[in-house]
Structure 1
Amino acid sequence: MNHLLRPMRLLALPGAVAMCLGACALAPTAVAPTPAAATPAPAPSAPAAKPFATFTNAATTVQGGTFDGFDYAEKAGDAGLLAVTPAAGAVRVTGFIGTAKGSTWAGIGLTVQGAPSGAQDLSRYTAVRVSLASASAKTLRVRLVGTDAATLASGCYPVFMQAVTPQLRDYDIPMAAFAPEGHCGSNARTTAATLPAVVAIEVADPTVAAQRRDVDFQVGAISLPR
């Protein structure tokens, strides 16, 4: 008897497995939850900047500062300022630079006072942001101007030569990039010594060519990123 039952037990196992497989096929498949979409990080914003000079068509800036054009040359008559024309957003400066009298250096420029209150401490700012364009030169000189008249007259406050295009656009010039010009020697005023008392920012076209050349450049808004 036991001999006959043993094969029946063995045959029952495949049937049970078949029933389980059928039932399992009908059971719903668990679906893993879809992870929530990651929120993109906000784009970094431009460094906060303090307005130094904002131009309109008025004779002063929005901040109340004045601006004025100038010319200089090794020999009198080799540079001439023609016009300083303010407009909404920028000031246009025109003039000429020549060598008829034998000058080896000359230029046309614009001095922009930051505010009517006099010198400002700019030592906590990281750069000068200035909007520039030139129809006549590939570089313009940007200078930090301090309170000492003799240092200004000798051209020994720190400068940076900024490459420009005919289209008005912003340039960020790090304070660390400003340096006195090579001719200054012991008269040079360092950037660190100038920043605690800046009365103006100067922009000039100092390019002297073999022939007389016209000067035509624009200076737009000036601000100070922290």
Structure 2
Amino acid sequence: MAHFRCNCGEVLGNGLVPNDVQIHVFKNQTWINAVNNHTEVYLIDKDYDIWKCPVCERVYSFKNKVDKMFALEDVEIDHFTSCLCGEHTNFAQYVAYTDIEMDRYTSDAETANELPDAPRELWSCNNCNRFFLKEIKSTSIQVYHEIDYYKDYETMPVDTGPQCIFLIPDGFAGPVEIIFGQDSYPYIELINNQYVFEIPVTGVLKVSNKESESGYAEDEYYFIDCSGNRIIRAEVSNHIITEFGNGTVKEKFTVKGR
């Protein structure tokens, strides 16, 4: 599970399972082969993920980390024949499902060939890196262009950020809450590009940090013994970050007992 802050300030994350931010992208031919071979959904190799900000509609593509950022162009087309750069043939074609859709289809169908038609199509121009997103239920196609977030003065870098490690008492199960911005409580130092949060037996941890720093990194969760030694990875769900108007930030997730 991971999170980072969009250029517009919105916190994006895939901690909620399922979520409506993460979109799974499959090469068109990979999907066709999977359907023809009756491959189960969870065994299909996706090409990459994209995360779409619900506020500004920027899109970020992921291949192990954030590798590209795209902005929505102020143009819509009703059918796709060529790119705006003039390219006519050099395209990659994909199908895409949101995390919520994949969860629903995985629950409702045992094999890929029982899935309905893909809810959206995506074409990527290999010449200028624009991509075109067509929702099956829509009559128009959205156009996105790539932003160089290392050079464009209007953007900020979205790169690998500090990793958050959560240490949980062995035997604990249930909700966890980390409350940031509590001045009278300890400050968690960044060490070796990691923040380590040791969760008390109450499940509620208060810290004076305003929030963990921006950037993309996969969170890790461990059960620990009474001496603080890590025993085994903990399984968690629904890791979300909530910001309040008074400046308070809360992270919440639920721990499954082992």
Specify which structure has the higher proportion of helix.
1
Name which structure has the greater RCO, CA cutoff 8 Å, separation 6+: 1
The normalised TM-score by structure 2 is 0.19
The normalised TM-score by structure 1 is 0.21
Q: Decide which structure has the larger Cα Rg and report it.
A: 1
